[in-house]
Amino acid sequence: MAVWIQAQQLQGDALHQMQSLYGQHFPIEVRHYLSQWIESQLWDAIDLENPQEEFKAKRLLDSLIQELQNKAEHQVGEDGFLLKIKLGHYANHVSSRTFDSTKLLVRCIKHILYTEQRLVREATNSNSPVGGMMDSMSQKYQQINQAFEELRLLTQDTENDLRKLQHNQEYFIIQYQESMRIQAQLASLATLPPADRQLREPALLSKKNTVEAWLTREANTLQKYRLDLAEKHQKTLQLLRKQQTIILDDELIQWKRRQQLAGNGGPPEGGLDILQSWCEKLAETIWQNRQQIRRAEHLRQQLPIPGPIEELLNELNSTITDIISTLVTSTFIIEKQPPQVLKTQTKFAATVRLLVGGKLNVHMNPPQVKATIISEQQAKALLKNENTRNDSSGEILNNNCVMEYHQTTGTLSAHFRNMSLKRIKRSDRRGAESVTEEKFTILFESQFSVGSNELVFQVKTLSLPVVVIVHGSQDNNATATVLWDNAFAEPGRVPFLVPDKVLWPQLCEVINMKYKAEVQSNRGLSEENLVFLAQKAFSSSSNNPDDYRSMTMTWSQFNRESLPGRNFTFWQWFDGVMELTKKHLKPHWNDGAILGFVNKQQAQDMLMSKPNGTFLLRFSDSEIGGITIAWVAENPNKAGERMVWNLMPYTTKDFTIRSLADRISDLNHLLFLYPDRPKDEVFSKYYTPPLSKAVDGYVKPQIKQVVPEFATANPDPASGNPTYMDQGASPAPVIYNIFPADSMLDADGDFDLDDTMDVARHVEELLRRPVESQWSGQQS
């Protein structure tokens, strides 16, 4: 990362130290607008104590003046007008410096850069992995900027050589015309008397021989100049192609990969400003060299001299055209992806951007972009350049948009704000593949010209894979397809191939990233949590994480085959946990109050060593999106014996009625959150405040949770005598049955579905009962 970008993120005293470096001697605006150029220069290579280094210092400052003038010329608008004056004024101020003041300015810039680097290094702690990575990025960015400086110098060198060649060729043509004039004079001597001809002919012949000898010699010199210029252009184009490969195939591809992982909950992909500035520099340098090559070709046509130059120029022209074509087509990108789970008849948005649009003046004739949905097979054919014109797999409304140029940011983009997928045409599915495994993509395409219609480009770009659904119930299976694709797709793949199986640690990284993003928590999945998930995924009982490191999980195991003894897949269970936590349990997960990923036997082992009333919260094994309370208490059937009880799992539906904290507050037999935290210490801040007293004769009812078998005495402030929580304690109570570890279970120790459904129906019946008649007497 560029030092200036990091310096802008400094805070407190470090920020004040950085700001104090600037003033009239070196305005902060110059540092900001020329940040990349300043950091790419070799300031440390100048020895200010050596008088011989005067030339280096002056050349650097001349370049600084040129950059300032270029930057000032491109400022527009009211704010740009003021900045243009300020930058222009400072450029004039620098150009009027003496050598001594030039040395002071170079020393000042060196001091500023050194201090900024020190402040940034201290702030990011270069010993940390993050700091080391930032140092590495800073080094890479510096290499890119140094390459641009080398390209600038090469382009300036060939421009000077081209002007020199043009000047020499113009003089050559003048001399050639002189030779033609002498030839004409010699031819006219034939009409003169012999005496006059003999008198004038020797001088003309001598002059003719002299001019022709010069022309021959100069023709060879011009040919050498042309060949030398062509070789220099070859060197420039080689460096250009190398620089373009670094920016497009490394930096831009990495940005796209970050964008893809951001769809799985990874960190944001970051802005495109630095990439755009690099692409614009490429475009500017390519275009300058292209114009030079065309001028060299014009000079060759103006004065043909036999030799290899014609073939060389054709090759250069072909290469430079190929380079600019690659740049333009590769920088037509999707800045904001459409949703990857796309529901029909639902509005969605996307943004496409041309990173070199402003620099190449494409906005002078704004192009239109069209969006089309195509299938995986159509995407494959498109990348093979097979004829797929007018092929689509559905109809998108509002799928045309004109690119707009935003002058303040210098971006050229098209914002599709109101697209809607009206219909979808599905292909024949393969084997066990479901509709939520079928991948589509949105194709964005446009056409525009560059350089007064010299070059016409047809550009296309494909969105990340999209899964189309028609109902919300398909969402979690579609999300699984997208998650797997985003995580394990390789750059440059054939659409949309992904591995059928991956190592378990790879999948752990993916689901941990997704979990943290969905729950919006810094508390991810611990190693114990991941072992629990591995046990569930592989039907294993091993508690050793190393046993799973070399194991692989197939797509079928992930979201096609149901877990043993269940009617849902591994992903469906995990997604249910995420949804429940995201909607209702986030603060408790962040507080560490929910162990969650613990099976029934583990919960029993953990609780049996704790005092009665100790409880823990774990996600249900048998129900999607369920969480249960397990606690240790006396066995009512055997005096002196203790056992672990499990409350029927709560789901989203339950928590829309009463929150988890309030439900725990209701149950007085729950005393300590495992291992030994008083429950009020953990949950009281989330309790709903007590209801206010009756107003206008009306008493507001409230719902409370009751477990009859564990109803404990509550002091009654009015009577001083204990009362018990039972059905009559609330006008519309929610009563949940409980079951000990050895009841309502099937042979495998899990919920018996029929019994569980009976309980659910019982709860629904209670919820439908009318308010007790005793309440009606209080109402008018």
DSSP class per residue in 442-484: EEEEEEEEETTTTEEEEEEEEPSPBEEESSGGGHHHHHHHHHH
Q: How many CB atoms lie within 10 A of CB 670?
A: 21
The percent of residues above 70 in pLDDT, for the chain, comes to 84
pLDDT of res. 385: 79
Burial class, 448, CB count within 10 angstroms (exposed 0-12 / middle 13-18 / buried 19+): buried
pLDDT of res. 238: 95
- Interval 658-663 mean pLDDT: 92
pLDDT of res. 717: 34
Tell me if 493 sits within 8 A of 383, measured CB to CB: no
Tell me if 648 sits within 8 A of 620, measured CB to CB: no
E-only strand ranges, 605-656? 614-619, 627-634, 642-647
What's the DSSP call for residue 44? Answer: G
Place of tokens 């490429």: 282
**Residue 398, pLDDT above cutoff 90:** yes
**Residue 484, pLDDT above cutoff 60:** yes
Report residue 277 CA to chain centroid gap. 17
Pick the more confident residue, 492 or 503: 503
pLDDT of res. 357: 87
Residue 431: band (very low, low, confident or very high) from pLDDT cuts 50, 70, 90: low
**Residue 680, pLDDT above cutoff 50:** yes
Burial class, 355, CB count within 10 angstroms (exposed 0-12 / middle 13-18 / buried 19+): buried
CA distance 652 to 627: 10
Pick the more confident residue, 412 or 742: 412
Residue 393 Cα distances to 191, 340, 356, 468, 772, angstroms: 86, 16, 31, 11, 59
Tell me if 242 sits within 8 A of 323, measured CB to CB: no
Tell me if 552 sits within 8 A of 503, measured CB to CB: yes
**Residue 363, pLDDT above cutoff 50:** yes
The mean predicted confidence, pLDDT, of the chain is: 82
Phi, psi of 405 (to 5 degrees): -100, 125
DSSP H helical ranges for 389-543: 475-488, 504-519, 527-538
Max mean pLDDT among 356-365, 541-550, 692-701 falls in: 541-550
Max mean pLDDT among 15-24, 35-44, 281-290, 741-750 falls in: 281-290
Place of tokens 């296309």: 460
CA distance 95 to 98: 9
Which tokens is 372 given? 């089309």
Closest CA to 683 of 644, 731, 629: 629
DSSP-derived pairing of the beta strands 734-735 and 627-634: unpaired
Pick the more confident residue, 725 or 1: 1
Pick the more confident residue, 679 or 62: 679
Residue 400: band (very low, low, confident or very high) from pLDDT cuts 50, 70, 90: very high
CA distance 462 to 382: 10
Strand order in the sheet with 455-462: 400-402, 368-375, 440-450, 455-462
pLDDT of res. 408: 75
Place of tokens 């014609």: 310
**Residue 157, pLDDT above cutoff 60:** yes
- Interval 71-96 mean pLDDT: 69
Report residue 676 CA to chain centroid gap. 43
- What angle do helix axes 99-124 and 12-19 make, rounded to 10 degrees? 170
pLDDT of res. 49: 67
**Residue 778, pLDDT above cutoff 80:** no
Bridge partners of 369, per DSSP, are: 401, 446
The percent of residues above 90 in pLDDT, for the chain, comes to 46
CA distance 446 to 459: 5
Closest CA to 664 of 593, 576, 757, 581: 593
CA distance 444 to 399: 9
Pick the more confident residue, 63 or 696: 63
Residue 155 Cα distances to 158, 160, 237, 269, angstroms: 5, 9, 10, 33
Strand order in the sheet with 738-740: 677-678, 672-673, 614-619, 627-634, 642-647, 738-740
Closest CA to 558 of 601, 511, 523: 511
Tell me if 624 sits within 8 A of 576, measured CB to CB: yes
Pick the more confident residue, 37 or 151: 151
Phi, psi of 752 (to 5 degrees): -85, 125
Residue 176: band (very low, low, confident or very high) from pLDDT cuts 50, 70, 90: confident
E-only strand ranges, 258-362? 332-336, 341-343, 347-354
Pick the more confident residue, 426 or 333: 333
Range name among 450-464, 553-567, 628-642, 709-723 with the lowest pLDDT average: 709-723
pLDDT of res. 777: 36
